[in-house]
Amino acid sequence: MNLSRRQTLALGGAAVTVTLLPISFAQAATDDAAAIIAEFTGGAAVGEGDIELTAPEIAENGNTVPMKMAAPGAASIMLVATGNPTPRVMVAHFGASAESRLSTRIRLAGTQDVIAVAKLADGSFIQSSKSVKVTIGGCGG
Q: Print burial letters for 27-45: b (CB count within 10 Å at least 16), e (below 16).
A: eeeebebeebbeebbeeee
**How many CB atoms neighbour CB 62 within 10 A?**
19
Among 19, 27, 54, 63, binds another protein (CB under 8 A): 54
Q: How far is the CB of 30 from another protein (least distance, A)?
A: 25
Binding of residue 56 to another protein (CB under 8 A): yes
What is the signed CA dihedral for 86, 89, 90, 91, rounded to 10 degrees?
Answer: -80
Q: How far apart are CA 72 and CA 74, in angstroms?
A: 6
Given the rule CB under 8 A, which of 1-9, 14-22, 33-41, 91-99 is the region that contacts another protein? 1-9
- Residue 63 region, left (φ>0) first, then alpha (ψ -120 to 50), else beta? alpha
Q: Measured from the CB atom, is 19 or 103 closer to another protein?
A: 103
Footprint on residues 89-108 left by another protein (CB under 8 A): 103
∠4-57-86 over CA atoms, to 5°? Answer: 100
Considering only 15-23, 75-83, 93-101, 128-136, which stretch makes contact with another protein by CB under 8 A? Answer: 128-136
Minimum gap (Å) between residue 3 Cβ and another protein: 12
> In whole angstroms, how close is the CB of 118 to another protein at the nearest point?
19
**Which residues of this chain interact with another protein, rule CB under 8 A?**
4-6, 9, 54, 56-61, 66, 103, 111, 133, 135-141
